[in-house]
Amino acid sequence: MNTNLTLRFATTAAFLVGAIAFPAFADDADDAESAAESRVQAAEKRMERKLATAEADVELYEQMVRIAAWISQYCIWNRHWPDPGDQENDAVRQLNELCPNNPFEGGKIQQTEGFSTDPIYQYYSAPTNIVTGASSGFEGDSPEPTTTFGALGDKRIRMAFDPSLTAVQAKEWSDDPPDEWEAPPGTITSIANGTDLVVIWGSGADGKPIRVPGTKRARIFVTSVKMNATERSNY
């Protein structure tokens, strides 16, 4: 075969092969670029979620501190932990209105401190001239037409009494919180022994206590205030 003819044939074949293969290479490059963009977007979303959770944790802890200050003042002025019934219900209502916004529910309408627009903030009973279902938030079907203030429903700020609570136990809770410490995100629970100690913990995005940044320790708030346990009559 003529040498020039053979060379031309080989060149033409190579060109055809390249022309056929090039679109495939281009498609592969587009797919790789698209996959890379998807990975970047996914990483950005994960980072945004982590930042949002971290910000919510910080805000929740700030609320815990404010609640601790309120509870400390209450115990100093009254010399005891709120008694079950009216005192506890009224304290829970005020605490919920002190910190009405759940950091983990930023999409909801934010409420002004001390004034709640949430219909779950109700009272146990109301004067007889209050219409049932009125926007005042009073419970209209109470058997007693009194003005006893209380908190109905499952509130985000909760109070609990544990006479066995000690400072040593509080330290242990910080390192290894109880398994039963689980609540809806944003819930803040205060626990008192009725004599000299109050422990406050907040529930994070996973329903468990928020952690000290960079550690596995529960970020709890402990306050010590002298209370007169003998003044309690309901326990």
* pLDDT in the model for residue 59: 93
- Ordered by start, the domain boundaries in the chain are 3-120+155-231
pLDDT tens digit sequence for 94-122: 888 888 889 998 777 777 676 544 444 44
Q: How far apart are CA 178 and CA 102, in angstroms?
A: 23
Kindly report the pTM of this predicted structure.
Answer: 0.68
pLDDT tens digit sequence for 200-228: 999 999 999 999 888 889 999 898 888 88
Of the candidate ranges 128-142, 177-191, 220-234, the one whose mean pLDDT is the lowest: 128-142
pLDDT above 70 covers what percent of the chain? 64
Asked whether residue 92 carries a pLDDT value surpassing 80, the answer given is yes
Arithmetic mean of pLDDT, 143-160? 60
Q: What is the rounded average pLDDT for all residues in the chain? A: 74
216-222 contacts: CB < 8 A, separation 24 or more? 217/174, 217/175, 218/173, 218/174, 218/175, 218/177, 218/181, 219/57, 219/61, 220/170, 220/173, 220/174, 220/177, 221/61, 221/64, 221/65, 221/68, 222/167, 222/170, 222/197, 222/198
* pLDDT in the model for residue 12: 53
| Location of structure tokens 């803040």 | 188
Q: How far apart are CA 162 and CA 191, in angstroms?
A: 7
What is the band of 46 on the pLDDT scale with cuts at 50, 70, 90?
A: confident
